[in-house]
Amino acid sequence: MSYSKATDIAYVRFSAPDLGVMEAFLLDFGMARAARQDNALYMKGIDGAPFAHATERGDPGFAGLAFELENNAALDSLAAATAKPVEDISEPGGGRMVRLTDPDGFRVDAVVRPHTTPAKPRSRAALNDGRSQPRLNAVSRVPGGPAQVMRLGHAVLMVKDYRASQQWYAQHFGLLISDEVEPEPGVALAAFLRCDRGDIPVDHHTLSLAGVGVSKYNHAAFEVVDFDSLMAGHSHLKSKSYRAEWGVGRHILGSQIFDYWQDPWGHTVEHWTDGDLMNAAYGSRKAPLSDLLAVQWGPNAPPSMGGA
């Protein structure tokens, strides 16, 4: 039995020396400002969460992540099981939290936060394809500019000991294995973990762990409204001369259409759309190492993402 069950990932934290430069990038990436303080920046999508990306002023680096819990009772249960205090959240949106540290030293917050009503995604014209042609006497025009980020979808961490980390996240947040990557039968190296919400469908993975012997941030992934939004965002970021890292392509594990970029300090962030959804009944699968970074279509993974 786990101490609590996460319902989703909440936010990722970074530090950077120039909050203005970070905000300019994230606006071009498709987020909106939630709040700006002297030493902290908070950015959000359109899903109603108070913020999805936090940056504190300081040396460049990854500073942690957080998971949403269903209610205060779940948070209190986690606090009791871990002997950690429940704190009031002083950041945008308020709420309550328990602050934890995972086996690799990453800060992991468990939060219960109020959400506002989600904003409506940009509308789009009906799609004509080889199966049906519902758009008649109407043209399709895709808005230019940044992608429209809906929400934070997942984070990927490199860890010293995959099994120790996987068991810690299962114990503390009830995360289930969707696909476990085995270089050879019976030897697990990595996994894609999802939330356990029973019959409610969730993303194929909310957290991914890869046991490579070091503790390191890999990337954070933000869902955009649709494929056209992703491609418009790709063109916009390219026009601003930001550093493209990998994409556009479609993953095998999770099936997302992806597009990876680097922020001004080299932190990798991903746009994605059209990922797989599973509920608890899906269970778990085994995947070969060749599937970990392979694509259904698109370019091969670069060395910076672990390819080649």
Give 252-295 pLDDT, tens digit per residue. 999 999 999 999 999 999 999 999 999 999 999 999 999 999 99
Considering just the CA atoms, what is the radius of gyration of the chain in Å?
Answer: 19
Rounded CA separation 279/128 (Å): 31
| Secondary structure of residue 142 in the 3-state scheme | coil
Summarize the confidence of residues 63-86 as an average pLDDT. 98
Q: Please give the span between the terminal C-alpha atoms of the chain, in angstroms, as a whole number.
A: 39
Q: Given this model, what pLDDT does residue 298 score?
A: 98
Instruction: Reply yes or no: is the peptide bond before residue 248 cis, omega within 30 of 0.
Output: yes
Average of per-residue pLDDT values in the chain: 97
Domain ranges in the chain? 6-116+147-305
Average of per-residue pLDDT across 63-77 = 98
| Tens-place pLDDT, residues 168-210 | 999 999 999 999 999 999 999 999 999 999 999 999 999 999 9
Q: What is the DSSP letter of 56?
A: E
Which residue in 242, 287, 195 sits closest to 27, CA to CA? Answer: 242
Largest Cα–Cα distance of the chain, in whole Å?
Answer: 64
Is residue 54 a contact partner of residue 68, using CB atoms and an 8 Å limit?
A: no
Residue with tokens 């409204």: 225
The answer to whether the pTM exceeds 0.75 is: yes
- Residue 308: the pLDDT is 64
Over residues 97-111, the mean pLDDT reads 98
Could you report the per-residue pLDDT of 221-262, keeping only the tens digit for each?
999 999 999 999 999 999 999 999 999 999 999 999 999 999
CA–CA gap between residue 35 and residue 91 (Å, rounded): 9
- Quick one: pLDDT at residue 306? 83
For 267, the enclosing helix (H) or strand (E) is none
**Per CATH, is 6-116+147-305 categorized as 3.40.50.20?**
no
Query: Which parts of the chain are beta strand (E)?
Result: 6-16, 32-36, 40-44, 53-57, 61-69, 86-88, 96-101, 107-112, 149-159, 176-182, 190-194, 202-203, 207-211, 216-224, 243-251, 257-262, 268-273, 277-278, 285-288, 295-297
Q: Averaged over 28-39, what is the pLDDT?
A: 98
Residue 307 pLDDT class (50, 70, 90 cuts): confident
Amino acid 1: pLDDT: 86
Residues 6+ apart with CB under 8 A from 151: 45, 46, 47, 49, 52, 222, 223
Q: What are phi and psi of 275, to 5 degrees?
A: -90, 165
Q: Which two tokens stand for residue 164?
A: 């120790």
pLDDT in tens, 124-146: 899 999 999 999 999 999 999 99
